[in-house]
């Protein structure tokens, strides 16, 4: 009988158009499951290998013949899914037993990016700045401790891509408020310059001079001429005054998010992508005052309610200044509990301002964006 390798060589490597999926499972090996699918990236047909290890999933895209390097014999169950049939190898005491299941109708294979949950940037992609920043190892693997950050920045880019894939622009200017170590800032630059081929001028602001210096050094190393970082307090310093297309902020602390949104409102910046962080202001100032008092009995509930109220007010204010706003679950809670993104696009239709002022009078809290943008 043919062994697994011979079948894979014939059915996958030599007839890739007929291949749908390979699943390796039931094992004592460290990698508990492997799923392989064909995928098209920039018109090139590759294989995406998904490995499940220590409750995490790792992806890499490889040339088709690299499938032969997998450790097939570590797995008791091997499923080769083809358009017209499934071939199943099951390990018994006397070796693998092969079974073929014919399909009633030939199945179409989906090679698209999104449906297969591939990120715009994947493990193994050559983004050298992300190696310097400590997200990827030198051989292109995601650093384990940075997996959540990798998820966050990739999702952030996906959401930007949803908006920008249909927009044609020659150049773009973006400000990042509270950029920190700037994983996101570098990835946004990479996305616009390397993937979208758009000239980008991106500026990151942070309070910490050491991280700002480091980011400028890395940008210089890779010739990222349109990427600059400055030590500035976004709450009080004068920031870039030229035309700006977009502001981004990822977990900019507390009211720094409000200053970012205020900056966008005052300068009529067309696009906002903002994931708020810790939100202390309302939690620290709100008093009992009416129908919602039950929410202030327990610290944890009060904190969560205050955070949601903060974001609801921010969204309300943005809408009243002409932004169409989506509130998006940014990443799964497991990858960050601060997982709400406020995405705004400036239009001409302003929504009338509702009862924020009444709420403030009743519950006596402070909210920075409200104060900064108050229409007297």
Ligand X SMILES: C[S@@+](CC[C@H](N)C(=O)[O-])C[C@H]1O[C@@H](n2cnc3c(N)ncnc32)[C@H](O)[C@@H]1O
Q: How far is the CB of 11 from ligand X (least distance, A)?
A: 44
Q: How far is the CB of 262 from ligand X (least distance, A)?
A: 12
Query: What are phi and psi for residue 112, nearest 5 degrees?
Result: -80, 155
Helix axes 209-221, 183-190, angle to 10 degrees: 30
Q: How far is the CB of 182 from ligand X (least distance, A)?
A: 7
- Nearest residue to ligand X by CB is 180
Q: How far is the CB of 249 from ligand X (least distance, A)?
A: 7
> What string marks each residue from 216 to 255 as x (binds ligand X by CB under 6 A) or -?
-----------------xxx--------------xxxx--
Q: Is residue 253 within 8 Å of residue 278, measured between CB atoms?
A: yes
- C-alpha 204/C-alpha 357 separation (Å) is 33
Of the candidate residues 34, 39, 179, 264, the single one contacting ligand X (CB under 6 A): 179
- C-alpha 23/C-alpha 210 separation (Å) is 46
Instruction: Tell whether residue 342 is a contact of ligand X (CB under 6 A).
Output: no
Instruction: Tell whether residue 263 is a contact of ligand X (CB under 6 A).
Output: no
Instruction: Tell whether residue 340 is a contact of ligand X (CB under 6 A).
Output: no
Q: Which stretch binds ligand X (CB under 6 A): 112-120, 128-136, 206-214, 356-364?
A: 206-214
When the beta carbons of 38 and 178 are compared against ligand X, the nearer one is 178
- C-alpha 296/C-alpha 176 separation (Å) is 34
- C-alpha 28/C-alpha 26 separation (Å) is 7
Q: How far is the CB of 309 from ligand X (least distance, A)?
A: 21
H/E segment holding residue 275: strand 271-275
Of the candidate residues 11, 123, 206, 316, the single one contacting ligand X (CB under 6 A): 206
When the beta carbons of 72 and 273 are compared against ligand X, the nearer one is 273
When the beta carbons of 91 and 235 are compared against ligand X, the nearer one is 235
Q: Is residue 16 within 8 Å of residue 38, measured between CB atoms?
A: yes
Distance in angstroms between the alpha carbons of the first and the last residue of the chain:
84
Q: What string of DSSP letters covers 294-336?
A: GGGSSHHHHHHHHHHHHHHHHHHHHHHTTEEEEEEE-S-GGG-
- C-alpha 9/C-alpha 2 separation (Å) is 11
Instruction: Tell whether residue 338 is a contact of ligand X (CB under 6 A).
Output: no
When the beta carbons of 226 and 276 are compared against ligand X, the nearer one is 276
Instruction: Tell whether residue 181 is a contact of ligand X (CB under 6 A).
Output: yes
Binding region for ligand X (CB under 6 A):
178-181, 183-184, 205-208, 233-235, 250-253, 256, 277
């Amino acid at each position: 009988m043919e062994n697994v390798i011979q079948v894979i060589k014939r059915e996958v490597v030599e007839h890739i158009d007929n291949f749908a999926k390979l699943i390796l499972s039931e094992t004592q090996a460290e990698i508990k499951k492997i799923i392989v699918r064909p995928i098209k990236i920039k018109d090139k047909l590759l294989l995406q290998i998904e490995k499940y290890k220590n409750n995490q999933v790792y992806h890499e895209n490889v040339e088709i013949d690299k499938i032969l390097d997998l450790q097939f014999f570590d797995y008791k169950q091997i499923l080769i899914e083809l358009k017209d049939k499934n071939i199943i190898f099951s390990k018994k005491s006397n070796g693998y037993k092969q079974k073929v299941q014919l399909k009633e109708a030939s199945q179409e294979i989906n090679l698209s990016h999104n449906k297969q949950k591939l990120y715009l940037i994947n493990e193994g992609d050559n983004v050298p700045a992300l190696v310097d920043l400590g997200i990827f190892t030198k051989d292109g693997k995601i650093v384990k401790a940075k997996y959540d950050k990798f998820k966050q920045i990739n999702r952030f880019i996906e959401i930007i891509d949803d908006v920008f894939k249909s927009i044609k622009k020659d150049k773009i200017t973006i400000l990042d408020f509270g950029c920190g170590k700037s994983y996101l800032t570098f990835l946004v630059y990479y996305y616009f310059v390397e993937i979208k081929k758009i000239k980008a001028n991106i500026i990151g602001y942070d309070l910490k001079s050491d991280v700002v210096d480091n980011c400028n050094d890395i940008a210089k190393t890779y010739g990222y001429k349109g990427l600059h970082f400055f030590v500035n307090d976004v709450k009080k310093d004068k920031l870039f005054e030229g035309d700006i297309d977009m502001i981004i902020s990822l977990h900019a602390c507390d009211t720094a998010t409000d200053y970012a949104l205020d900056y966008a409102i005052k300068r009529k910046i067309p696009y906002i992508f903002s994931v708020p962080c810790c939100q202390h202001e309302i939690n620290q100032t709100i008093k009992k005052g009416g129908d919602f008092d039950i929410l202030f009995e327990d610290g944890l509930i009060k904190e969560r309610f205050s955070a949601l109220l903060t974001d609801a007010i921010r969204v309300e204010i943005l809408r009243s200044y002409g932004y169409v706003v989506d509130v998006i679950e940014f990443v799964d809670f497991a990858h960050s509990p601060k997982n709400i993104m406020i995405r705004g696009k400036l239009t001409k239709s302003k929504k009338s301002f509702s009862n924020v002022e009444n709420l403030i009078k009743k519950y006596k809290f402070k909210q920075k964006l409200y104060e900064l943008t108050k229409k007297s």
